[in-house]
Amino acid sequence: MQHAALKPGGVVIAQEYRVNKRIRAREVRLIDADGAQLGIVPLREALKIAEERGLDLVEVASNAKPPVCRIMDYGKFKYQQSKKHTHRKTLEVKEVKVRPQIDKHDLELKIKHIVRFLEAGNKAKVTMFFRGREIVRPELGMKVFHRIIEQLDDKYNIENRPRLEGKSITMIVAPK
């Protein structure tokens, strides 16, 4: 009935449309093969028009009142739909780990890694783990995150601002 749905993991599931005799409505809103609206017509008349043109009548919006049907070559449409979804790039989340006592040069290197991941079209997750007594001073960790944000904020989206969760601080940065 609908078009393709995406399952977790990027797997495309093709969902079937109702075609020709499988359409159950009495009347339909008919759209011509070139996209022109022909108005609301009885189902029999819509099937007749599609048959005269040597094409199929496909129900594209079953939830509408009345359902929307389009005159098209269904085989060609299914082929185009399958091609459309094969080139989908899976978005990865790359992780960069930093420490609260990170040196200035090391932080610059980590920021370069983050920028490289973002330029490649991936998201970047910045994680800081506190060991032992470092958790007593989370503001030191937040200072590191603020330095990262200063350099990335204008060019990239900060999806999740840094927040303390247990013994770690995490932040997610995405390309604009």
CATH number at residue 119: 3.30.110.10
69 and 136 co-located in one domain? no
Residues 16-73 pLDDT 10s: 788 888 888 888 898 988 888 888 999 898 899 888 889 988 888 888 888 898 999 9
Quick one: 98 and 142 in the same domain? yes
What is the extent of the structural domain holding 112? 93-175
| 106, 149: one domain | yes
Per DSSP, the residues of 16-70 read PPEEGGG---SEEEEE-TTS-EEEEEEHHHHHHHHHHTT-EEEEEETTSSSPEEE
- Axis-axis angle for helices 138-152, 104-119 (nearest 10): 50
Do 69 and 120 reside in the same domain of the chain?
A: no
Domain at 62, CATH number: 3.10.20.80
Dist. CA 60–CA 17, nearest whole Å: 7
Name the pTM for this structure.
Answer: 0.51
Same domain? For 42 and 108 the reply is no
Final residue in a domain of this structure, among 56, 86, 116: 86
Where b means 16+ CB within 10 Å and e means fewer, 24-39 reads ebebbbbbeeeeeeee
Q: Select from 86, 121, 154 the last residue of a domain.
A: 86
Instruction: Based on the fold, state whether residues 42 and 110 are members of the same structural domain.
Output: no
Q: What is the pLDDT of residue 11?
A: 45
Q: Could you report the per-residue pLDDT of 94-152, keeping only the tens digit for each?
A: 999 999 999 999 999 999 999 999 998 899 999 999 999 988 999 999 999 999 999 88
The tally of domains found in the chain comes to 2
